[in-house]
Amino acid sequence: MRLLLKKMAVIMFTLLYVFCSSATTDKVRRPAVYKTYDIIFDLDWTALYSLPASLHYTGERYLNYGGESYRIVDWFEEAIQSLLEIPGVRISIFTGGSRERSEYILQQIILPDGSRLADRIHLSLAYHDMALEINPKGDKFFDKHKKDLSRFFNDLKNTIIVDDQISVPQSQRKNLLWLQETYNFYVDYKGHAEFPYDPPSLLDFNAERNKIVWTFNLLKQSLNQSKHSQQDLTELVYRFSRDRKGKLKKKNRSDQLAHIYKTIKKFRMKYGKKTCANLALNFD
C-alpha cells in the first residue's frame, strides 16, 4: 500500500512540475529579435523642395527658415510612418545643410499619428558630420564632401541612404538609393519646360511629385525579402532597382507610376483624413 502511495505521489509531482514549467515558459517567452535596418533620408530635393526666395509661402506643407522657403515632398510623412511600422527599421536624417536648420525642419514635420519627425528619428546628421575628400575629383560640393555612413552605422550591408545626389564615397555606392533626376516643384503640370530643371513631360511631373512613394515601394519590397531570406538589404535594393540587363529602372516609366498609384490608394485608405498629401496621378 505504501509503495502504491509513493508511486502516485511521484506521478502527481511530475505532472505538477510539467504543468508549472509550461505555464512559466509561456509567461517568460522571449520577444522576437529583429535585424536592424537603417534607412537614412537626405532633406533638400529628397524630402523638401526649395522654392523661389522672393516669395513667402504659407500652408501646412510649406516651411520658412532663414529667409528661405521650402515645401515638404508629397507622401513623405506617410512613407516615413509606414517604414517605422516595420519591425527593425530605424529612420535617420543626413543633410548637407546646417544642423540648426535641420532641427527646425524636423520639428515642423508631423507624421500621420501626430508625432513630430524629430522625436522619431534615430540620428540627425548634418554638414559638420560629413567627411572631406582628400583628393576630390571636382570642385562641386559633393565632390569635396561625402556622407560617410561607416562613421555612424555599424552594419552597412543593411543600411540605405535615399538622396538626390551621389553623396556617398565610392565604396558605399550600393548603400545609395539615388532618386535619379529631380525637378522643380509645381502644383500642376505646365505643359512644357520653361526653366532649367522643369519637368520635361507629364510622366516626369508625376514621377517627381510621387518620388517618395517610388522610394517606399522599393524599400518595402527589399525589406520584406530580406526578412524572409536573410539577404542583405543593399543587395536587394540594388537588384530590385534594376532591370534584367542591369540598367537602372527609371521611376517615370508607366509601370512604375501604376505601382505608385496603388500605394497612394493604400496610404489614403490607411491614414484617411490624416493623409498629409493630396495628389491624384493623371495618366492622360
Whether residue 81 contacts residue 75, with contact meaning beta carbons closer than 8 Å, is answered with: no
Domain ranges of the chain: 37-274
Q: Tell me the average confidence (pLDDT) per consecutive run of 10 residues in the chain, 284 residues long.
A: 53 55 50 82 96 73 90 96 97 97 96 96 97 85 91 97 94 94 91 89 92 96 93 95 82 82 93 59 40
Q: What is the CATH number of domain 37-274?
A: 3.40.50.1000
In order of 96, 121, 185, 190, 205, the CA distances from 197 in angstroms are 20, 31, 9, 13, 11
pLDDT of the residue at 27: 46
**What is the pTM assigned to this prediction?**
0.83
pLDDT of the residue at 24: 46
pLDDT of the residue at 34: 72
In order of 11, 81, 116, 172, the CA distances from 100 in angstroms are 71, 24, 16, 27
Q: What is the largest CA-CA distance in the chain?
A: 104
CB atoms within 10 A of CB 283: 10
pLDDT of the residue at 130: 96
Sign of CA dihedral 70, 75, 76, 78: positive
pLDDT of the residue at 284: 36
pLDDT of the residue at 257: 82
pLDDT of the residue at 280: 40
pLDDT of the residue at 7: 55
The DSSP output letter for 72 is E
Beta strands in 35-80 (DSSP E): 37-41, 48-51, 62-65, 68-72
pLDDT of the residue at 33: 61
**Cell digits of residue 249:** 529602372
